[in-house]
Structure 1
Amino acid sequence: MKSATSQARAREQRTRILCAARRCFIRHGFHGASMAELAREAQMSPGLIYRYFDNKHHLVLAIIAQQLQRVREDIGQLHGGAELLLPVFMDALGGAPCRPDGMNPSLFLELSAEASRDLAVAAAVRASDRTLRQEFTRWLTRPREQGGLALPAERAGRVMLMIQCLWEGMVVRRSREPDLDAAQLKAGLELLLPLLLQPAP
């Protein structure tokens, strides 16, 4: 059995490798980034990387799982009114490659493109989407006294779909327009999110 110290070391190494992989994938794409380049970026030997990940394909799947966990943590912190969602949107669009609470727009597009070509990546993305929809919908339908918005289940499902489309559209727009005015984006979200999240008439 591994000691707590060795387990912590392994987690640190995996995180270091995934951060390096994200940076390489953002610069060169999944297929343009080599394992040798990734090793240089991580400042470790290729052999050490292969101790944790069998190949580049497994790195892609690990990044999807990592992003899912981070967004699930964001959803888990939503306890209260709809106003909590605005900072989640704004913070997560920061775009830094290893930002713990964000998805870089270029990396998002790479994942989306790879999901259209690779069955395993497509399955991982679909499973991630399902999980996030379920957990976010639970917050939308939870009673207000329990920190939710008390939306009816049918309405919550529709709202969740629109929020997901809004989120993904914003990420694509950010990739096309890196200097997008954050203040203007925030003002637009302040208009739209309350309309989406208000109780049914």
Structure 2
Amino acid sequence: MEDGVFFEATQAEPLEGQGQTRAERRDQQIQRILDAAQACFVRSGFQGASMQQICAECGMSPGALYRYFPSKEAIVAAICAADREDDMTCFGVFRDATSAIEGLVDGAMAHITHTHKKGSAALFAEMRSESNRNGTIRETVDGHKREIAEMIAPLVQGAIDRGEIDPVVDLQTLMAVLMSVGEGIAINDLPARGIPLDRIETALRGMLAGMLKPTGKVQAENVPAEQA
């Protein structure tokens, strides 16, 4: 039976014993394609990896694959969408942090740890490299970073408004630098290079303190009068 025909049959009704819904099978097939594409991008580069190679990697016919993704750019967009959800979870800790620096450090360390465990560094590097040549990929990658920055920036601005920090540069410049530093750390996967997480955290904390310049004002205001 042709792959495409078999695939269509599995979409019509569950295979015996599987008990999966159509949506579950669709999600499973999409993940199968994304996993195969990531392996091909890392091994051959974005330019070198073809849709035919991705089909072979995931054991799927072209007709079945194109049913989900019409191009490599569409696959990259789906990969970024999945990563964006993970990033939002990592950096979401900022909302409950006791200070801007603690929030940024906690979010960054969660992201560094997640990226390392997932082994995404090589893929991130390939996507960033391709973004310098491909406008569609650049918009996808930059859009991903922009959404993270737009989540963090208001929280940093709130710390500025409260007098908690007094950054050495304006907010726009600060966010550009922070996002670039974060991307660089993710691409280099420092834990894989033997740099302990606690040392990375210490370095990040020092860097952020230098850029954000905590004033101590908020902390002092929270100390009970009898202790002041």
- Do these two structures clear the TM 0.5 threshold for a shared fold by scoring above it? yes
Deviation at 1:54, TM superposition (A): 0.9
Deviation at 1:197, TM superposition (A): 4.3
1:41–1:156 distance in 2 versus 1, CA, 3 Å: same
- Distance in 2, Cα, partners of 1:200 & 1:139: 16
- Distance in 2, Cα, partners of 1:194 & 1:27: 39
Q: Describe how 1:11-160 pairs up with structure 2 within 5 A.
A: 11-78=27-94, 79-81=96-98, 82-94=101-113, 95=115, 99=118, 104-142=120-158, 155-160=170-175
* 1:43-73 CA distance string (max 9 Å, x none): 4443322211012222122223332333223
Aligned position for 2:208 = 193
Aligned position for 1:162 = 177
Q: 196, 218, 224: which is aligned to 1:182?
A: 196
- Distance in 1, Cα, partners of 2:196 & 2:206: 14
Deviation at 1:5, TM superposition (A): 3.0
Give the TM-score normalised by structure 1.
0.73
Structure ID, larger Rg: 2
SS in 2 for 1:124: helix
Gaps in structure 2 of 5+ consecutive residues:
1-19, 217-228
Deviation at 1:149, TM superposition (A): 9.3
Give the TM-score normalised by structure 2.
0.66
Q: Is the 8 A contact 1:20 1:42 kept in 2?
A: yes
Matched positions, count: 190
Report percent identity of matched pairs.
26
Deviation at 1:160, TM superposition (A): 2.0
1:32–1:93 distance in 2 versus 1, CA, 3 Å: farther
Deviation at 1:198, TM superposition (A): 4.7
Q: Is the 8 A contact 2:132 2:138 kept in 1?
A: yes
Gaps in structure 1 of 5+ consecutive residues:
none
Name the stretch that deviates more: 17-26 or 32-41. 32-41
Q: Is the 8 A contact 2:121 2:187 kept in 1?
A: yes
Deviation at 1:104, TM superposition (A): 2.0
Deviation at 1:167, TM superposition (A): 1.1
1:152–1:189 distance in 2 versus 1, CA, 3 Å: closer
SS in 2 for 1:66: helix
